[in-house]
């Protein structure tokens, strides 16, 4: 079962039209940093689904991995990233990431980002899981917010960049495999708009909202990845969904991340009986790769019959905890948990998608003039399992690479003000509860396509998602809720198909019925691409 080319009927001749040299979808670190590196002589528009302050990047706590310490090197960072990726990393992409990290971090410092310091001119380096060195630079436990706030403040000073909020991008408009612009719904005016451009950059983040429990904000419904697929781009590695091991488990909040840095500072995981368990699962104990720690917690919860385990950082002084993890300390205290005295109840939740729009190291996709970076992209950096604190770094390094490529080629792309496009097929209104369908998708995915999977559960999930897709196949989509659910159904189906196809366990993809890694048959990527014959 494939999908129609566009989610809505349209004729650009009848739509309000705006022209820009470059369109960037998404306002997280990848999108904003890309915009800042594009030559100021070009007109850039950042389109964001909600306000510019809402993104996965803003919620990132841990920090940015960079080998600036005198005991570290890009080679060590490369080795750790490759190890965590469980055999599926692109070595070319990882080399770019680790070798260009320092120059981009120095740009952040130039923009005024305030990282924690160990001395007058010495950055403070933290440790996180699967890193062999202390290389995580941070701003307390709100690094993503500090970086994004500074970058957005710089963007607002640039006369060539406009930020357009509450614009829901529906589809990429193409002609003969070439990007011509975007079809969007302006929530502010409740009207459709055609944004014409020479180049489009997708930086929409991941699709954590496919799952009932996730650290991602509500906007993370995979819209960018879905529109790329409908337009003919290739998607890769969709089966690899990373669950963060330690997310607050509280009746009032099951999405607040407890950063990996807490374990990097010596935090210990204990089961419901108070017993430390990680040494039984991996030689690196609490600092094992995320997929290992998440499965270990899952197994301990199953053994004890309890819905959570505990993270113990009580051996650290209260003053130190308040300074190092101010947001976590304050948030937990608001729920009656004093982390200097009390264990933190935690459980895994969906956190990051290794898969996405297939790109090369310059962010190029199969569609001419269409680029992708950040979590929406899959350049092969993360392989089967992302190394902690490589995500913000990816947005910086590859956002910069894309901007450089755009600066190089954009003058060769025509700005055709006479272009027009239209699409029509029969669609019908249905009496359905779209929000109820969305919640059911999330329950299906968390139950059957989570930390541990098997054929029976995956096939059941596929069957349920397929029924919804068939029911809404000719549905008349009219608003962002409709668009989101269509995107969620499409991506859920593709994730399930990829997970069924990969008959092994590797990184974040664990099959109970194929519980070994099979390098002979499966040390390769699963690519999903739409049949462009179906219109």
Beta bridge partners of 428: 475
Q: State the Cα torsion 404-405-407-409 to the nearest 10°.
A: 160
**Cα 460 to the center of its chain, rounded Å:** 26
CA-based max dimension of the chain: 69
Q: How many CA atoms lie within 13 A of 56 on its CB side?
A: 28
Q: Say which residues have a Cβ less than 8 Å from residue 295's Cβ, sequence separation at least 6.
A: 281, 451, 452, 510
Q: What are phi and psi of 311, to 5 degrees?
A: -110, 125
Cβ atoms of 15 and 193 within 8 Å: the answer is: yes
Q: Say which residues have a Cβ less than 8 Å from residue 230's Cβ, sequence separation at least 6.
A: 3, 4, 5, 6, 7, 171, 172, 490, 530
Cα-Cα end-to-end distance for the chain? 13
Query: How long a stretch of residues is the chain?
Result: 535
Nearest-angstrom CA–CA distance, 233 and 529: 7
Report which of 139, 77, 131, 66 is spatially closest to residue 101, judged by C-alpha positions.
Answer: 66
Report which of 374, 7, 370, 376 is spatially closest to residue 185, judged by C-alpha positions.
Answer: 7
Distances (CA, A) of 142 to 138, 389, 390, 421: 8, 13, 16, 44
Catalytically annotated residues? 290
Radius of gyration for the alpha carbons in the chain, expressed in angstroms and rounded:
22
Distances (CA, A) of 151 to 32, 138, 251, 409: 7, 16, 35, 25
Report which of 391, 384, 356 is spatially closest to residue 507, judged by C-alpha positions.
Answer: 384
Nearest-angstrom CA–CA distance, 312 and 232: 48
Joined tokens for residue 199: 């180049």
Cβ atoms of 89 and 82 within 8 Å: the answer is: yes
Cβ atoms of 460 and 204 within 8 Å: the answer is: no
Nearest-angstrom CA–CA distance, 403 and 39: 8
**282-320 burial: b if 16+ Cβ within 10 Å, else e:** beebbbbbbbbbbbbbbbbbeeeebebbbbbbbebeeee
């Amino acid at each position: 079962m494939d999908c129609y080319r566009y989610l809505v009927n349209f004729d650009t001749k009848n739509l309000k039209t705006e022209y820009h040299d470059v369109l960037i979808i998404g306002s997280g670190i990848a999108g904003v940093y890309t915009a800042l590196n594009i030559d100021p002589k070009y007109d850039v528009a950042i389109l964001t689904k909600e306000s510019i302050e809402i993104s996965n990047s803003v919620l990132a706590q841990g920090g940015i991995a960079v080998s600036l310490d005198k005991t570290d090197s890009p080679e060590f960072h490369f080795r750790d990233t490759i190890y965590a990726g469980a055999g599926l990393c692109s070595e070319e992409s990882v080399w770019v990431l680790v070798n260009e990290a320092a120059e981009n971090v120095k740009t952040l410092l130039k923009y005024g980002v305030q990282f924690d310091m160990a001395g007058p001119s010495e950055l403070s380096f933290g440790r996180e899981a699967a890193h062999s060195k202390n290389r995580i630079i941070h701003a307390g436990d709100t690094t993503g917010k500090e970086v994004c706030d500074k970058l957005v403040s710089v963007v607002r000073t640039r006369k060539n960049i406009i930020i357009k909020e509450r614009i829901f991008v529906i589809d990429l408009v193409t002609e003969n495999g070439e990007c011509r612009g975007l079809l969007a719904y302006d929530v502010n005016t409740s009207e459709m708009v055609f944004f014409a451009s020479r180049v489009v950059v997708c930086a929409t983040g991941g699709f954590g909202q496919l799952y009932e429990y996730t650290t991602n904000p509500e906007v993370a419904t995979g819209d960018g990845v879905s529109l790329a697929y409908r337009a003919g781009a290739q998607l890769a590695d969709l089966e690899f969904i990373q669950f963060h091991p330690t997310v607050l488990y509280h009746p009032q909040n099951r999405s607040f991340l407890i950063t990996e840095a807490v374990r990097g500072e010596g935090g210990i995981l204990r089961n419901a009986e108070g017993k430390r368990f990680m040494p039984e699962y991996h030689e690196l104990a609490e600092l094992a790769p995320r997929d290992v720690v998440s499965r270990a917690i899952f197994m301990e919860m199953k053994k004890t019959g309890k819905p959570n385990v505990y993270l113990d950082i009580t051996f650290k002084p209260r003053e130190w905890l308040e300074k190092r993890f101010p947001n976590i300390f304050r948030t937990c205290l608001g729920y009656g948990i004093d982390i200097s005295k009390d264990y933190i109840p935690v459980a895994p939740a969906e956190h990051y998608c290794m898969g996405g729009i297939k790109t090369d190291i310059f962010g190029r996709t199969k569609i001419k003039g269409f680029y992708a970076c950040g979590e929406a992209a899959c350049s092969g950096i993360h392989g089967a399992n992302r190394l902690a604190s490589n995500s913000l770094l990816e947005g910086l390094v590859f956002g910069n690479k894309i901007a450089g490529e755009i600066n190089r080629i954009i003058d060769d792309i025509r700005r055709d003000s006479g272009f027009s496009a239209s699409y029509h097929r029969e669609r019908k209104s249905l009496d359905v509860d779209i929000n109820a369908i969305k919640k059911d998708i999330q329950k299906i995915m968390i139950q059957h396509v989570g930390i541990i999977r098997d054929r029976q559960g995956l096939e059941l999930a596929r069957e349920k998602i397929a029924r919804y897709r068939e029911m809404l196949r000719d549905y008349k989509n009219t608003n962002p809720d409709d668009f989101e659910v269509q995107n969620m159904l499409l991506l859920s189906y593709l994730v399930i198909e990829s997970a069924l196809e990969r008959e092994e366990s590797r990184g974040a993809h664990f099959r109970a019925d194929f519980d070994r890694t099979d390098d002979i048959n499966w040390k390769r990527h699963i690519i999903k691409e739409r049949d462009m014959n179906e219109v």
